[in-house]
């Protein structure tokens, strides 16, 4: 199992990498502060799932550093790269504290999240659609590129087959002329 990384120095937020990102993967930055994540949150005490994006295969998007999520998420997601999956264990003071988040999260609850960083991107400008629309657009572009590459490869294969067939016909004609040429000599 991967080592535990104490992100706060006091054991308040512990990160364990479950799947490393590729070496060239991007991380959130000031230019790309908006992150899209898949996650599942469970109560450490009971193991009960209190929230997840996995059931409906949605992503949760937020901007790092704006205070729109619990502190442990702001801290942990800054250290992740796209494609990485990590277990984030957070003490109450880095989660929902003494208030909890009724009815799902009781007061002073230690939480465990499995988080996958799906994407990080710039702040949304007025001419961009929603995150899901952007993902759908990118997925469609990817499919189009794959179809174009497959079509190009198929055309190349057909050209090579046509060249091979033409070469075989030429060889066959040349071979038959040689055979015919040997038999047409003058009689002595």
Regarding whether 139 and 53 lie in a shared domain, the answer is: no
Q: Is the pLDDT of residue 94 over 50?
A: yes
Q: Give catalytic residue positions.
A: 39, 50-51, 70, 96, 113
User: What 3-state class would DSSP assign to 52?
Assistant: strand
Contact 158, 63 (CB under 8 A): no
What is the pLDDT confidence band of residue 180, given thresholds at 50, 70 and 90? low
Q: Cα angle vertex 136, ends 133, 142, to 5°?
A: 145
Q: Is residue 182 part of a domain?
A: no
- Residues 88 and 152 both lie in one domain: no
Q: How many domains does the chain have?
A: 2
At 127 the pLDDT is 46
How confident is the model at residue 106, as a pLDDT?
Answer: 96
Q: Which residue has the higher pLDDT, 141 or 45?
A: 45
Task: Write down the pTM of the prediction.
Answer: 0.65
Asked whether residue 30 falls in the same domain as residue 92, the answer is yes
Is the pLDDT confidence value at 42 over 80?
yes
pLDDT, position 129:
57
Indicate the SS3 state at residue 67.
coil
With 0-12 / 13-18 / 19 or more C-beta atoms within 10 angstroms meaning exposed / middle / buried, residue 86 is buried
């Amino acid at each position: 199992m991967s080592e535990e990384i104490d992100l706060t120095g006091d054991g308040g937020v512990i990160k364990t990498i479950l799947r490393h990102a590729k070496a060239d993967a991007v991380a959130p930055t000031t230019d790309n502060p908006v992150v899209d994540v898949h996650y599942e949150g469970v109560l450490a005490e009971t193991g009960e799932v209190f929230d997840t994006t996995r059931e409906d295969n949605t992503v949760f998007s937020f901007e790092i550093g704006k205070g729109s999520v619990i502190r442990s998420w702001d801290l942990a997601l800054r250290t992740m790269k796209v494609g990485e999956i990590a277990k984030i264990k957070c003490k109450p003071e880095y989660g929902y504290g003494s208030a909890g988040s009724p009815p799902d999260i009781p007061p002073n609850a230690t939480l465990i999240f499995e988080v996958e960083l799906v994407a990080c991107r710039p702040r949304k400008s007025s001419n961009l659609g929603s995150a899901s629309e952007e993902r759908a657009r990118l997925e469609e572009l990817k499919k189009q590129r794959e179809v174009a590459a497959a079509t190009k490869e198929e055309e190349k294969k057909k050209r090579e087959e046509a060249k091979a067939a033409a070469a075989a016909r030429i060889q066959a004609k040349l071979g038959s002329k040689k055979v015919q040429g040997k038999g047409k000599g003058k009689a002595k």
